[in-house]
Amino acid sequence: MVCVLKALVAGAIAYGLGSIPFAVLITRWKAGIDVRSVGSGHAGATNTMRAAGWGAGILVLVLDLGKGYFAMWLAQRLGGSEYTLALAAGMVMIGHCWPLYAGFRGGMGMASGGGALLAIWPLGFVLAVGLAVLLQLVIRHSARANFFTGLLLVPLWALFGIPGPLLVTTGVVGAIISYRAFSDWQRVYKELWLDRE
């Protein structure tokens, strides 16, 4: 029962952290517009770069990574089972994608999910970023590359010998990434450095 309560507390805190809409706040501050009204319509670092410049986009990227990392750090401090970490990772991403404080219209979850992965296995985070970049270069369509990145996270981490319990968290992160990316499967990108029409 205590483990369940710890998991629920970790999940609730993670959702609250994930819901902080850094892209919306920073783009409004820097450019005076709602980031969701331009470009892809998503509240993430890439769309912030489009709307408010590289500096604002990098700041959003760091903050979104940070909220994923911090949610996991708190979950680790609370203790509980490995499922506490999985729930916290999922909830921080759900908060980012469907934020309570921004009308449930958020980003794609890549950075917040990346922050969660960084907190549990830094080398695994580097491997995940490498996989994402490789797929972006090969596929040249952000959403489709992200979709396959999500699907391949668990096999990638398993290949490098990550313990089984942590693969549960990786699977949650990968599933949410793939789910969100699939919604943009048919989108024609025109504004990203790696995408082609």
Over the stretch 34-64, which tens digit does the pLDDT of each residue have? 999 988 889 999 899 988 999 999 999 999 9
In the prediction, which pLDDT does 189 show?
A: 61
21 falls in which pLDDT band (50, 70, 90)? Answer: very high
CA 169 → CA 80, 91, 116, 146, 180, distances in Å? 14, 11, 9, 17, 17
Question: Is the pLDDT reported for residue 94 higher than 90?
Answer: yes
Positive/negative CA dihedral, 69, 59, 45, 157: negative
What backbone phi and psi angles, to 5 degrees, belong to 173? -60, -50
Question: Is the pLDDT reported for residue 197 higher than 70?
Answer: no
